[in-house]
């Protein structure tokens, strides 16, 4: 689907910042809506207790922080992480929650202020959505003094910084009164609403109940709730956020602001349990999942508690008496759908793109919950409201079941998490499932795990070995943001017999969250033969797809501790060669490099390119220095012969028929893509004269559907040297319809995806300095290449499939996956790979940029 962002942004701005006097919607029946409807509106902020606790934050850097214009509150309430001022937002009568009898986004501030009346509650703004709506975290616990909170934080940090010491303290009773963090995330899919409503109901109890059982829980836990992870989607009834991203596929990439905001809270709390509440699956679905289970989890530790916690949640759901929320067994008993127990495959935890799976790398027993009844579509009002009522009750029941399990097993869960982290610092391999209950209940191969021997370290070299200093810094900062420890050499050193220069980064894998480091930096594994069906993608790798050189060091080698120092932040500083130069060169091998070129082009700097694709910048030292510093890119010296035969480059006016993820990736690079369709050309809305290049990966722009006038204009545009970049089967279809490159394409399985080893043509301006790996999804490869078509990149002839799931992969070995040529006067490039997939494989972006600039 094509997304026209500027239009959406304008509408959003109108919605968000419209007149404050907008009519107030008649609220739905308060009784069915939980605490929100009963809360007072328009209450003065100054009447509320504000707590701000500097120095009370988690071990990592603070959450992305507040950029709202709300005044910072200074008064302190003891025992609260932070209490932000929660201001009203404009009422939106079109909020999709309203006809569902659920809480609209504009009623959430009042509900949160109502909760803030309790000294057990703190509410924080932890970030903003794409359209600028605040994301809220509510934390509930019995009041703590500042000193108590500080102690709490120290014991919290100790779990990760020194699990051995934490285990000793646990044995000595020091954690007896430590409150374990439990985490609930809601509404990440905007059109799966009820987790938010259920959480506000539960929070009402946690805030105000005098029930001894609840008071006891508040003394044992710190409960953290994300009210909605996707407010834009909640209002608009969309699964995705406003950038078109399914954010429950983004946690390992974190390309979206909503994901980064919640990730920071998972890092901050390293919760013992984590629920991510979704809909809609019959019978109510409660994870743990089917296999294949991710290699880097301590799955034996996970499943022991995940399965019992799921059974506790199932009991709570059945206890609601809502018969539409469960299924009947053959013996007449009722059950929910627990995939580990009830299915054989197809609902796996393999990729940590999902929120709960990502949370597992922070030591959480993570669960996706799917409430049962879809309230969308053509239903009577009564039936729609009945469904959301049941779903809300079910979501609340799972939260209660989870909290009860965590209360009854508080110390066992903590001991389990410390053991998880201890194995990391001790460098132990993962272990098979040994829990008799899990073994007895598992269906199919669900009980199987693949035992993982972790690398000793990963090295990201500096100096002459280094592929891209910019990409290396980007990767290291990403790891730090994920709560991982990275060191850097201040002097040259040796590791595993290899000499490395000062500046080299080293990831010592003996750390608490090494599973996350392994899943980010390792390549993964080919699981084609393990299972027939996978729920989503089967491969990802920042180490292999983000553009930095990453080397794995195995064996029991000793790290040179004296040469290494911990890194707290990483950013490439960029550089300019000394002395006055007539020209500077820039080799684009990172996203920042693409951004730097687009910045120069947008500023009107006259650039040109050498035959090998190096950008040449005239010797204006001020501009070059500014760009080097701003983007962290390295300019090189260019000799007069090198700049003799260069081709001028101008700003690329880019049209796209692409998916939302690709449009986002192109914007990340600094392009300003405009969505195009054949209809828009035919009706005169768009003109070919306004474009230099088209990126096509959907059928929205069909050259055969152009009218005679526009077809002639298109052919003239091609003849004048236009640029076409096609991706996937739709890109190839566009190529054929426009009569461009003479190639034959074949398709891999539509559900196939993974990381492939490729061979690049060193003379190609598109792939000449490309990575030796690429990413494919629904792979396309070229089985015949006609005269005049260059093969820029092909799959390796042997062992090309490094990781993922691709049944029938053998047929593709050695075939071309990126081709280019001049056709009808135009520069045409076709990608059978997925270089922009969900904004993940950043290291492949330079290939697309090079093709667009060609």
Q: How far is the CB of 396 from Zn ion (least distance, A)?
A: 18
> In this complex, which beta carbon is closest to Zn ion, that of residue 191 or of residue 519?
191
Q: How far is the CB of 260 from Zn ion (least distance, A)?
A: 19
HSE-up of 168 (CA within 13 Å, CB side)? 4
> In this complex, which beta carbon is closest to Zn ion, that of residue 191 or of residue 538?
191
Q: Name residue, tokens 């600039």.
A: 853
Contact 294, 303 (CB under 8 A): no
> In this complex, which beta carbon is closest to Zn ion, that of residue 277 or of residue 725?
277
What would the x/- binding string for Zn ion be over residues 133 to 172, using CB under 5 A? ----------------------------------------
CB atoms inside a 10 Å sphere around CB 640 = 8
Contact 227, 127 (CB under 8 A): no
Q: How far is the CB of 185 from Zn ion (least distance, A)?
A: 11
- Two tokens at 145? 């003094």
Distance in angstroms (rounded) separating the CA atoms of residues 835 and 205 = 48
- Any residues with CB less than 8 A from the CB of 279 and at least 6 apart, and which? 189, 192, 193, 194, 370, 371, 372, 373, 374, 391
| DSSP track, 461-477 | --GGG-S-HHHHHHHHH
Distance in angstroms (rounded) separating the CA atoms of residues 840 and 10 = 27
CB atoms inside a 10 Å sphere around CB 840 = 26
CA distances from 841 to 40, 520, 680, 759 (A): 48, 12, 31, 17
Q: How far is the CB of 490 from Zn ion (least distance, A)?
A: 47
Closest CA to 78 of 119, 139, 125, 123: 119
> In this complex, which beta carbon is closest to Zn ion, that of residue 278 or of residue 385?
278
Q: How far is the CB of 276 from Zn ion (least distance, A)?
A: 8
> In this complex, which beta carbon is closest to Zn ion, that of residue 220 or of residue 278?
278
Q: How far is the CB of 239 from Zn ion (least distance, A)?
A: 7
> In this complex, which beta carbon is closest to Zn ion, that of residue 189 or of residue 423?
189
Q: How far is the CB of 369 from Zn ion (least distance, A)?
A: 10
What would the x/- binding string for Zn ion be over residues 175 to 214, using CB under 5 A? --------------x--x----------------------
> In this complex, which beta carbon is closest to Zn ion, that of residue 53 or of residue 339?
339
> In this complex, which beta carbon is closest to Zn ion, that of residue 374 or of residue 549?
374
Contact 203, 138 (CB under 8 A): yes
Contact 703, 678 (CB under 8 A): yes
Q: How far is the CB of 255 from Zn ion (least distance, A)?
A: 18
| DSSP track, 519-540 | HHHS---B-TTT-S--SS----
Q: How far is the CB of 247 from Zn ion (least distance, A)?
A: 10
Residue 485 makes contact with Zn ion by CB under 5 A? no
> In this complex, which beta carbon is closest to Zn ion, that of residue 131 or of residue 285?
285
Q: How far is the CB of 79 from Zn ion (least distance, A)?
A: 34
Distance in angstroms (rounded) separating the CA atoms of residues 120 and 106 = 24
What would the x/- binding string for Zn ion be over residues 349 to 388, using CB under 5 A? ----------------------------------------
Q: How far is the CB of 480 from Zn ion (least distance, A)?
A: 29
Q: How far is the CB of 137 from Zn ion (least distance, A)?
A: 20
Q: Name residue, tokens 């309790």.
A: 118
> In this complex, which beta carbon is closest to Zn ion, that of residue 534 or of residue 766?
534
> In this complex, which beta carbon is closest to Zn ion, that of residue 310 or of residue 473?
310
Distance in angstroms (rounded) separating the CA atoms of residues 500 and 457 = 14
Q: How far is the CB of 278 from Zn ion (least distance, A)?
A: 3
What would the x/- binding string for Zn ion be over residues 247 to 286, using CB under 5 A? -------------------------------x--------
The pair phi, psi for residue 170, each rounded to 5°, is -60, -45
Distance in angstroms (rounded) separating the CA atoms of residues 103 and 198 = 10
- Two tokens at 470? 């910019």
Helix (H) or strand (E) holding 146: helix 146-161
> In this complex, which beta carbon is closest to Zn ion, that of residue 281 or of residue 475?
281
Label each residue of 426-464 as H, E or C: HCCCCCCCCCHHHHHHCCCCCCCCCCCCCCCEEEECCHH
End-to-end CA distance of the chain: 26
> In this complex, which beta carbon is closest to Zn ion, that of residue 238 or of residue 705?
238
Buried b / exposed e over 484-519, threshold 16 CB at 10 Å, is bbbbbbeeebebbeeebeebbbbbbbbbbbbbbbbb
Strand partners, 760: 793
Distance in angstroms (rounded) separating the CA atoms of residues 583 and 579 = 11
CB atoms inside a 10 Å sphere around CB 106 = 22
> In this complex, which beta carbon is closest to Zn ion, that of residue 313 or of residue 550?
313
Q: How far is the CB of 162 from Zn ion (least distance, A)?
A: 37
Peptide bond before residue 292 is cis, with ω within 30 degrees of 0? yes
Distance in angstroms (rounded) separating the CA atoms of residues 485 and 254 = 18
Assign 184 to helix, strand or coil.
strand
Q: How far is the CB of 315 from Zn ion (least distance, A)?
A: 23
Using CB atoms, what's the residue nearest to Zn ion?
278
Contact 853, 649 (CB under 8 A): yes
Distance in angstroms (rounded) separating the CA atoms of residues 833 and 468 = 22
Closest CA to 851 of 693, 669, 632: 693
> In this complex, which beta carbon is closest to Zn ion, that of residue 122 or of residue 186?
186
Q: How far is the CB of 123 from Zn ion (least distance, A)?
A: 25
Q: How far is the CB of 188 from Zn ion (least distance, A)?
A: 7
> In this complex, which beta carbon is closest to Zn ion, that of residue 188 or of residue 397?
188
Question: How many binding residues for Zn ion (CB under 5 A)?
Answer: 3
DSSP 398: H
> In this complex, which beta carbon is closest to Zn ion, that of residue 192 or of residue 232?
192
Q: How far is the CB of 263 from Zn ion (least distance, A)?
A: 18
Distance in angstroms (rounded) separating the CA atoms of residues 226 and 235 = 16
- Two tokens at 106? 């504009």
Distance in angstroms (rounded) separating the CA atoms of residues 211 and 192 = 31
> In this complex, which beta carbon is closest to Zn ion, that of residue 127 or of residue 190?
190
Assign 211 to helix, strand or coil.
coil
Site for Zn ion in 783-842 (CB under 5 A): none
Binding site for Zn ion (CB under 5 A): 189, 192, 278
């Amino acid at each position: 689907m094509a997304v026209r962002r500027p239009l959406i942004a304008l509408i959003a701005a109108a919605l968000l910042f419209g007149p404050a006097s907008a009519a107030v919607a008649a609220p739905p029946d308060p009784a069915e809506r939980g605490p929100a409807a009963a809360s007072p509106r328009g209450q003065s902020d100054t009447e509320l207790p504000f707590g701000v606790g500097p120095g009370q934050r988690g071990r990592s850097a603070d959450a992305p922080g507040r950029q709202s214009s709300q005044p910072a509150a200074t008064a302190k309430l003891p025992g609260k992480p932070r209490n932000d001022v929660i201001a009203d937002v404009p009422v939106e009568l079109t909020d999709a929650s309203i006809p569902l009898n659920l809480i609209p986004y504009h009623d959430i501030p009042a509900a949160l202020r109502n909760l803030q009346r309790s000294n057990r509650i703190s509410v924080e703004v932890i970030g903003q959505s794409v359209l600028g709506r605040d994301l809220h975290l509510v934390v509930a616990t019995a009041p703590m003094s500042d000193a108590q909170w500080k102690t709490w934080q120290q014991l919290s940090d100790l779990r990760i910084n020194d699990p051995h010491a934490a285990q000793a303290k646990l044995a000595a009773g020091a954690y007896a009164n430590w409150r374990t963090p439990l985490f609930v995330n809601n509404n990440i899919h905007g059109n799966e609403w009820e987790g938010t409503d259920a959480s506000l109901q539960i929070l009402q109890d946690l805030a105000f109940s005098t029930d001894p059982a609840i008071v006891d829980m508040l003394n044992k836990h710190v409960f953290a709730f994300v009210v909605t992870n996707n407010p834009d989607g909640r209002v608009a009834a969309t699964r995705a956020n406003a950038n078109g991203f399914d954010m429950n596929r983004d946690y390992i990439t974190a390309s979206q602001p909503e994901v980064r905001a919640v990730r920071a809270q998972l890092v901050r709390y390293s919760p013992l349990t984590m629920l991510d509440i979704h809909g809609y699956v019959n019978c109510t679905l409660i994870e743990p999942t089917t296999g294949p289970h991710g290699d880097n989890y301590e799955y034996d530790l996970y499943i022991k508690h995940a399965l019992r916690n799921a059974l506790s949640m199932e009991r709570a759901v059945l206890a609601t008496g809502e018969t539409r929320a469960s299924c009947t067994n053959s013996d007449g008993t009722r059950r929910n759908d627990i995939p580990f127990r009830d299915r054989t495959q197809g609902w796996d935890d393999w990729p940590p793109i999902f929120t709960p799976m990502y949370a597992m790398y922070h030591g959480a027993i993570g669960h996706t919950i799917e409430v049962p009844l879809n309230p969308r579509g053509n239903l009577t009002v009564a039936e729609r409201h009945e469904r959301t009522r049941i779903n809300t009750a079910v979501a609340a029941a799972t939260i209660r079941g989870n909290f009860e399990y965590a209360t009854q097993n508080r110390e066992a869960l903590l001991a389990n998490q410390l053991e998880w982290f201890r194995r990391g610092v001790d460098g132990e391999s993962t272990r098979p499932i040994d829990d008799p209950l899990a073994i007895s209940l598992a269906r199919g191969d669900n009980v199987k795990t693949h035992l993982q021997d972790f690398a000793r370290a990963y090295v990201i070299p500096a100096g002459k070995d280094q592929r891209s200093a910019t990409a290396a810094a980007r990767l290291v900062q990403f790891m730090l943001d994920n709560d991982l420890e990275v060191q850097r050499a201040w002097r040259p050193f040796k590791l595993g017999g290899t000499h490395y220069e000062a500046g080299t980064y080293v990831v010592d894998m003996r750390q608490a969250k090494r599973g996350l480091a392994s899943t980010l930096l390792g390549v993964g594994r080919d699981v084609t033969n393990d299972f027939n069906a996978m729920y989503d993608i089967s491969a990802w790798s920042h180490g292999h797809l983000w553009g930095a050189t990453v080397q794995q060091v195995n064996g029991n080698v000793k790290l040179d501790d004296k040469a290494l120092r911990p890194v707290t932040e990483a950013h490439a500083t960029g550089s300019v060669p000394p002395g006055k130069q007539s020209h500077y060169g820039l080799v684009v091998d990172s996203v920042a490099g693409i951004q730097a070129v687009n910045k120069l082009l947008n500023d009107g700097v006259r650039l040109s390119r050498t035959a090998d694709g190096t950008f040449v910048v005239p010797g204006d030292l001020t501009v070059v220095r500014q760009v080097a510093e701003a983007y962290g890119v390295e300019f090189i010296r260019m000799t007069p012969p090198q700049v003799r035969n260069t081709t001028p480059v101008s700003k690329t006016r880019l049209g796209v028929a692409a998916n939302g993820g690709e449009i986002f990736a192109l914007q990340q690079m600094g392009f300003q893509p405009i969505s195009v369709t054949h209809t828009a050309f035919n009706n005169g809305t768009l003109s070919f004269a306004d474009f230099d290049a088209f990126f096509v990966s959907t059928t929205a722009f069909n050259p055969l559907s152009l009218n005679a006038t526009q077809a002639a204009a298109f052919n003239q545009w091609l003849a004048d040297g236009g640029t076409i970049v096609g991706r996937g089967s739709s890109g190839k279809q566009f190529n054929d319809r426009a009569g461009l490159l003479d190639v034959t394409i074949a398709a891999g399985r539509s559900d196939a995806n993974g990381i492939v080893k490729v061979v690049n043509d060193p003379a190609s301006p598109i792939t000449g300095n490309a990575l030796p790996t690429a990413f494919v999804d629904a792979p396309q490869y070229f089985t015949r290449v006609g005269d005049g078509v260059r093969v820029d990149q092909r799959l390796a002839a042997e062992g090309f499939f490094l990781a993922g799931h691709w049944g029938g992969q053998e047929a593709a070995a050695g075939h071309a996956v990126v081709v280019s040529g001049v056709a009808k006067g135009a520069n045409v490039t076709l990608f059978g790979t997925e270089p922009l997939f969900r904004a993940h494989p950043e290291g492949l972006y330079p290939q697309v940029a090079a093709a667009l600039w060609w």
